[in-house]
Amino acid sequence: IVRNISPGERAATQRGVGGHRVGHHIDGGLAGGPLQANYKLEQFHAHWGPTSDKGSEHTVDGRSFAGELHLVHWNCDKYKTFGEAAGHPDGLAVLGVFLDAGSTDHPELEKIVSLIPSITHKGQTVTVSTPIDPSMLLPENTHYWTYLGSLTTPPCTESVTW
């Protein structure tokens, strides 16, 4: 898989979307591996739970993680908009990254975490003073699993290559 993710013009806002999730709009792309087209990064968001071992939406051999980062991409070769792509089986590609709690600081993740107290209402937007580089949120390990599935939040459309 080829990742092209960097901070850009769209790295200007942070969006709180409710519950145990926070999202961000930014530039970037994804291609290769199981993908038959180029996919444009629409947004990324993270899911977390009440404890450091119950926040991820996926598990590995029954093990949950503290959280899970989702980088949501759409097929820009075939569709004109994210909304259009979301309704088709080959429309979306989500890169999921497990997050573990630890004692080591993570400066890029801290930029996001520090904004959470400022987001008090669903749909609220706050300004990011320093651009966030999502490539710094990705693991050094490039091994992955892939499957065809759905969005993990409503409308849970079956349009995702994970």
pLDDT tens per residue, range 68-123 = 999 999 999 999 999 999 999 999 999 999 988 888 888 888 888 888 888 888 77
CA-nearest of 22, 4, 6 to 14 is 22
Question: Quick check: helix, strand or coil at residue 97?
Answer: strand
Q: How far apart are CA 39 and CA 32, in angstroms?
A: 10
- What's residue 2's pLDDT? 55
CATH 3.40.50.300 matches 2-161: no
- What's residue 32's pLDDT? 93
Is residue 18 very low, low, confident or very high in pLDDT (cuts 50, 70, 90)? Answer: very low
Residues 55/39, Cβ–Cβ less than 8 Å: no
Is residue 17 very low, low, confident or very high in pLDDT (cuts 50, 70, 90)? Answer: very low
**Domain ranges for the chain:** 2-161
**Between the ranges 46-50, 84-88, 133-137, 149-153, where is the mean pLDDT highest?**
84-88
Q: How far apart are the first and last CA of the chain?
A: 12
Q: How far apart are CA 64 and CA 53, in angstroms?
A: 6
% of the chain surpassing 70 pLDDT: 83
CA-nearest of 25, 58, 142, 42 to 92 is 42
Alpha carbon dihedral 64, 70, 73, 74, in 10-degree steps, equals: 70
Residues 22/16, Cβ–Cβ less than 8 Å: yes
CB count in 10 Å sphere of residue 81: 10
Residue position matching structure tokens 């038959």: 36
Token pair, residue 157, equals 């459309």
Is residue 40 very low, low, confident or very high in pLDDT (cuts 50, 70, 90)? Answer: very high
- What's residue 20's pLDDT? 44
Mean pLDDT value across the chain:
82
pTM of the predicted model over 0.75? yes
